[in-house]
Chain A
């Protein structure tokens, strides 16, 4: 590196001559190459950090991430609480904000992964795909980066919930909240990987996405409790991935609280197994399809 330190001073001249330019270029070209660290780990961290940097560069995304849940909760569960709150026997706003939190983890990681399609349209994937990094580092880096972004938004929603919407924090549940949140993020991310392997453009994916998400809002019991459903709705509800994610999160948040038995639908272990299995399945299938589709056209 000693070769580099000398001209750094001459570099600062505002209008360097051509020969100075040539010397600079030579220095850059001839500087010794370092091969540090674990390359896969380094590239994984880099890809993840890019997601976070992009999020921090875009304040509108942050504002949108906060305004949407507030609007949904006020619009949906505000009227519900005032009409049926007493009948339900527990605070519906608290119910909705926990559902919203699970949805936020799931949805924001999913959308974060879909940005790979945006990268593809902006030709940035070329830079990623010709880099000497493993495709798995690329996908996992993307999932972890998108999860961190989703977790940051989740923290804000939780704070809003605690301050304004009766978020039912329980001390024993709190340490468990982080791993459960991460798991839900991963399951959203894994579903995202499956989607990007199936859809080639952002346009087609964003047309299909509402079809895949909206029914889950309702059948997954995000905002409204799922009790005493007719058999066909019950069946549809049971095959909604978000149902298990939201229920798992509630089982943690409401643990040790009097409403637990009314709010939580099934055993946390069942939820955990279902969420893990779905995550693993879509991740494996999605990754295989993605890696194949990029090279074999």
Chain B
């Protein structure tokens, strides 16, 4: 903890703030009361400003615990966290002002209207003074809320209780509410869980626009791996530890190989030819060869057997993920 103190007093260079990652986590540990195992066990990572960062892992891996700590609702057992230039331990009010959160479960007041929920948020974050009615709020607020409602297509139901909203609408309202105070980081804890494919699609469409318009960093946890394909960085957690990290491309290429699928009406001849060329292959319903990139063309040129199928297969992040988690689980069992 001594380094933390010296860092605290070190004068910050102006250019350093632009380079500094928006989230910096060092050796984060959380052990819940009465728990035998650390829920988060020495996790370190950093998130550059403006990026889309995804934290993945099976249920119980510690993702929500990490998010709870980063969003100041849970105290860590040990470790050091800086968000938007503020230290978690000593400056949590400043951090709270600079983050927006969409939780796993909707955290709207169901008995209040959409506008009342937004007004409550705006007042709690000190963006506008509280007034006991929409008409009494400052003009800037009213314009902003009307614009938001238009954007979400809820102008009609802005003054209806939130409990009448669909799951997708509630999520969008929460995201908008979370953006109202223009946070540096928007945390999304499994934001699309329980939504139908259409709502998920439009939510992502919307998040893409949010990213394009501002410099908001998005910190995401999800179980839908296809949502993460466009992330700038991915961390995979298992049993409280980070077991893999990198861009989606890196994870895919490091862990799973692209392959070439071939088939022929003359299977015996193809098999013989591949053996002669010394190319390793697996024969199932089709021939699968660990060949990728320029090697594909090179190999195809040399083959004389007529082919009925030529297909390259790029593994998805989901496959890479399953392989990583599978390996980790196996290692744990052996221990």
Binds A, one of B16-24, B124-132, B217-225, B247-255: B124-132
Query: Are B161's CB and A132's CB within 8 A?
Result: no
Query: Are A130's CB and B209's CB within 8 A?
Result: no
* A:23-71 near B, CB below 8 Å: 24-31, 33-37, 39, 42-43, 45-47, 49-50, 52-54, 57-58
Query: Are B143's CB and A54's CB within 8 A?
Result: no
Query: Are A34's CB and B128's CB within 8 A?
Result: yes
Query: Are A130's CB and B101's CB within 8 A?
Result: yes
The one of A25, A45, A296 in contact with B130, judged by C-beta atoms closer than 8 angstroms, is: A45
Main secondary structure of the interface of A (DSSP, over half): helix
Query: Are A49's CB and B130's CB within 8 A?
Result: yes
> B51 contacts the other chain (Cβ, under 8 Å)?
no
The one of A29, A54, A124 in contact with B182, judged by C-beta atoms closer than 8 angstroms, is: A29
How many CB-defined contacts (below 8 Å) exist between A and B?
A: 144
Chain B contact residue count (CB 8 A cutoff): 54
Binds B, one of A1-9, A155-163, A203-211, A273-281: A1-9
**A25-B151, A123-B103 as given contacts; A131 in contact with B209, CB under 8 Å:** no
Taking CB as reference atom, which chain B residue is nearest A12? B150
Query: Are A57's CB and B32's CB within 8 A?
Result: no
User: Inside 8 A of B99's CB, which chain A residues have their CB?
Assistant: 130
User: Inside 8 A of A21's CB, which chain B residues have their CB?
Assistant: 151, 209
> A126 contacts the other chain (Cβ, under 8 Å)?
yes
**A31-B144, A126-B101, A132-B126 as given contacts; A49 in contact with B132, CB under 8 Å:** yes
Query: Are B179's CB and A16's CB within 8 A?
Result: no
User: Inside 8 A of A11's CB, which chain B residues have their CB?
Assistant: 146-147, 150
Query: Are B181's CB and A33's CB within 8 A?
Result: yes
A105 to B116, CA, bound (A): 27
Mask, B139-153, CB within 8 Å of A = 1, is 110011011101100
User: Inside 8 A of B129's CB, which chain A residues have their CB?
Assistant: 36-37, 42
> A297 contacts the other chain (Cβ, under 8 Å)?
yes
> A82 contacts the other chain (Cβ, under 8 Å)?
no
**A1-B140, A4-B144, A42-B129 as given contacts; A22 in contact with B123, CB under 8 Å:** no
Query: Are B212's CB and A22's CB within 8 A?
Result: yes
A241 to B130, CA, bound (A): 36
Closest Cβ of chain B: how far from A178's Cβ, in Å?
A: 21
Additional A-B contact list (13), CB under 8 Å, known A47-B124, A124-B107: A8-B146, A16-B150, A22-B209, A24-B151, A42-B124, A42-B130, A46-B123, A46-B124, A123-B105, A125-B107, A126-B103, A126-B107, A297-B33
A sample of 21 cross-chain residue pairs with beta-carbon separation below 8 angstroms, ordered by A number, consists of: A1-B140, A5-B143, A8-B147, A11-B150, A12-B150, A22-B209, A28-B180, A29-B210, A29-B213, A42-B123, A42-B130, A46-B123, A54-B109, A54-B111, A54-B112, A122-B110, A127-B107, A127-B108, A128-B124, A131-B96, A132-B94
